[in-house]
Chain A
Amino acid sequence: MHEDDQLMLAHRQGDSQAFETLVNRYRRMVFGYLRRMLMDDARAEEIMVETFYRVHRAAAEYEPRGQFKTFVFRIAHNLGLNAKRDGARWQSHASLDEQLPPTPDVQENLSAMAAPDPEMRLQQRQSVEQLNRALKKLPDVQREVFLLYYREGMETPEIATVVGIPSGSVRAYLSMARKVLRETLESAGVR
């Protein structure tokens, strides 16, 4: 039996340590996925906590079929979608907010970028940031499919389960995402 399944069954039997082990195993993945999905760290953290709470509450019904990762990501994805839907209507009023100076956080990041890091590290970081900027331009579903595939290392059927679309659609979205990213990055002069 898969180790995650064993932990879930142990949790079901009242072993709270097993639950904490599971959470600690997946918290970084889930939080990373949600913060890229929601573009809001505080909200992502809330949804991450809610996700694991739902996992806990669903322990009694959990079927140990070696798909815990898919299970937890499906919950995170659905909760993230709800949060995104609630937040989709709001944006800062640009004409007013443009007048605000960048926060020290931004300035720190810019300073860190300019710091004499090893060249390779800097290039890598810049590449990642360029890719993340390009990712933000993708439609939500394409970005989510892309992240699950490339970042979380999920297979197409697993992604289909998480997102709730057919496997063929997952492959199509991946293909479209790659095409758009390539065009975006090339036009930005990345290559």
Chain B
Amino acid sequence: MEDGKELIPSDFSLQDIPPELRTPEEAEQLANEAATFNDDTAFEGWLRAQMRADAQDPADEPGPEALSGLFSRVREEQRAASGTSAPATTRAENVVGSVIHPEKVDSTPTSSPVLPSRRPSLVKTGAPTSASAPPQVVAMGGPQRSWRSLGAVAGGLLAACLAFFMLRQPTLPSDDATEDPVRTRGSTQGSTETAGASIDIQAALEHPDGRVTPFQSTGTLQRDEGLLFRFHVTVPNPGGRLLLFERSPRGTLQKIYEAPVSGTHEAGVLGRTTETPVPVQVDIQDATGKPLRYSPDGSAGLYHYVAVLCPMTQRSVSEDAPEAHEHQPNELQAHELQAHELRAITSALTGTLEKVLGPPAHGHSQTAVPLDGFPSSLSVPELQQNLRMDVFVVDFRPDSTNGAQQEGLPR
């Protein structure tokens, strides 16, 4: 009797409740149990019951950290609007942002690596006159800085990341166009956590009949063809995750591929619109020679692709992710990056791409909302230092002068 169970007979069912005493939920459940889909009313009741249950899905609760950056930002803006200055330590992005210097990618080698134990990242700049020519490689260093706030957020997120920026530039057909496929490869060196990691990315065309041919930077991409990226990644030790991002002409940065990698990994991602009409990634020309330069939102087609390799073996625990204490590295590597981790990467890459490659061709990049106290813009050295990334920029354009004039790309 203590818990009342004995008051309810074991064979009790909702049918035992007189109709006039049933709650709406009980009536609906009964209708649901008795009905078949031949009955419109019952189906309607079933749908409502399922959707009501679905509304309780715990996965619909965004992470508590998701909105903290927004709240900080809004409070800051309100203080600014009212003429009250905020305490300097209330927002991480204030602390961090105050020491960001507007550094530009410089072709002049610098000699001071950020950390003694890390080599300067390599930024390959300067478009070759033909894609077969080796890109110019310049070493980049960064200023020594203390980023405790950022480190709390990001230092534990990305132990060592290797990023390849693949720049595709709309180009008009030219007689001396290269026939080399769009391909890049690179590897890390030195005594860093990523030493020995290598990545080989090749862009290819997938034809309607299933054939795959190397992507020609001045070729014709028909509307029913797909753009395919293939990866060959080798990472030492247990591995991590491979992510591919795309920045659209509007500045939208989105993850288009993510996969766990361990040892040697081969994978691919295919860009093909699911909408009709279906011109895909057309930033070249159609069969008549007219430049299509299509993108889904109508913007001209200057797209950037960024591949990020994040070994998880050195992934430390940040203050923002205490739950990571409960996992071993091998468990972590198999899980998709958590939302706040992905946001941190995205946020940093968004600003970094803008500094390296210039502003998006249309609109503004999505840097209006710094998230979780994470600065929305980092220079390459800052990105390297704080996310501990090695950054490579590879320019595939066969004719850099023409391309730069077309898109105003800073070089």
A contacts, CB < 8 Å to B? 14, 16, 19-20, 23, 27-28, 31-32, 35, 41-43, 45-46, 48-50, 52-53, 56, 82-83, 85-93, 95-97, 100, 103-105, 124-125, 127-128, 131-132, 150-151, 178, 181-182, 185-186, 190-191
Contact = CB atoms under 8 A, between A and B. Distances in A.
19 contacts: A16-B74, A27-B62, A32-B60, A43-B254, A46-B346, A56-B74, A56-B77, A89-B271, A89-B272, A89-B274, A90-B269, A93-B228, A103-B260, A104-B334, A105-B336, A127-B50, A128-B50, A132-B54, A150-B47
Contacts of B246: 86, 90
Interface stretch (B65-73, B107-115, B118-126, B163-171): B65-73
Contacts of A128: 50, 53-54, 57
Given A27-B62, A42-B255, A182-B43, A88 B275 contact: yes
B266 interface: yes
Contacts of A50: 366, 368-369
Contact of A85 (B50, B81, B297): B297
Interface of B: 36-37, 43-44, 46-48, 50-51, 53-55, 57, 59-63, 66-67, 69-71, 73-75, 77-78, 81-82, 228, 230, 246, 248, 250, 252, 254-257, 259-260, 266-275, 280-281, 296-297, 331, 334-337, 339, 342-343, 346, 366, 368-369, 371
A73 B362 CA distance: 26
A90 B303 CA distance: 14
Nearest to A52: B70
B61 A49 contact: no
A28 B60 contact: yes
A23 B70 contact: yes
Given A86-B297, A89-B281, A90-B270, A42 B50 contact: no
Nearest to A125: B53
Contacts of A100: 259-260, 267
B37 A103 contact: no
A96 B267 contact: yes
Nearest to A105: B335
Given A92-B269, A131-B50, A14 B81 contact: yes
Contact of A97 (B50, B267, B280, B371): B267
A149 to B, nearest CB: 9
B78 A14 contact: yes
B61 A178 contact: no
A101 B50 CA distance: 31
B270 A93 contact: yes
Contacts of A186: 37
A89 B334 CA distance: 26
Nearest to A185: B37
Given A19-B74, A178-B43, A93 B268 contact: yes
Given A87-B254, A91-B272, A97 B48 contact: no
A42 B53 contact: no
A185 B267 CA distance: 34
B87 to A, nearest CB: 14
